[in-house]
Amino acid sequence: MKVLIANRILIYQVLGELFKSMSIKPRLMELGVLDGTNAKTMADILMPQELFLVDSWSPEAFSDYIKNNSHRSWVDDLNKYADYFGGPLSEQVTFDRLYQKVVDKFSGQNNVKIIRAGSQKAVPVLRDELRGKPKFDLIYVDASHQYETVLDDLIDYQEFLTPDGFFQLNDCCHSAEGMKQNLGVLEAAVKFCKVANFIPVLVTNTDWTDVLLVKRNSATIDVIDLIIRNNEISFVEVPDQLLGALQIKQGKRRNISFC
């Protein structure tokens, strides 16, 4: 896997070059949309044929966080993150405002489909919606960050990926700040790679790391390698088996370490 000295925008740019070289007009999906900022960035760079946005926009989205962590004194109370969400996480009005921001961002764009349901409840909805239709080239996973739910999302949503399709995971790292939320994204990714024969191909050297996963035998791996080597992109290559050791270390800035 290549550790990019950049943020997630570079992953989108590399994927944009890949899709162009393979004559793919990509279909994208995002699980966990918040106010649509990342979805808009993906859409602007990758110019998808279709973009599906899946989020419950409801306090229910944090039910597993509360259930898993209510007894853990070392895990933050959800109220600490009220400013990030724009209001109390126990109030539906907070999520209705976020939902409306997404609707406004994508108003009039007929290629965008908004599904207001949690990632797991959306699975049967998507099966009906997508029956007989093409699958997705990239699914961005940013819903619940609890281990069991992330693993469920990865296992269940792989049926919606093309054979060479990608998962991109947000907050896929171990860090002191992540511990305060009991993040399980990294551990779920490692387990999923083992059971589904996926590997990490690109990683951002940033706090709240993004990781790109693809099937081990995918032809896209060589294409990504060619794109990166033929452009002025700074990276460090490490064995994909080190994914589970990925952690953020704080110095004058935060950096990825595998030690």
Divide the 259 residues of the chain into consecutive groups of 10 and give the mean pLDDT of each group. 96 98 97 98 98 97 93 94 95 98 97 97 96 96 96 98 98 95 97 98 95 97 96 95 94 87
pTM above 0.75, yes or no: yes
Strand partners, 31: 54, 141
Spell out a b/e string for 216-240, using b for 16 or more CB atoms within 10 Å of the CB, else e.
eebebbebbeebbeeeeeebeebeb
The amino acid at residue 80 is K
Res 250: pLDDT: 82
Beta strands 136-141 and 161-169, pairing class: parallel
Cα–Cα dist 131/17, whole Å? 29
Q: What is the pLDDT of residue 93?
A: 98
Q: CATH for 2-257?
A: 3.40.50.150
Burial of 213 (0-12, 13-18, 19+ CB in 10 A): buried
Two structure tokens written together for 129: 């919606």
Residue 240, C-beta contacts closer than 8 angstroms, at least 6 positions apart: 1, 193, 199, 200, 201
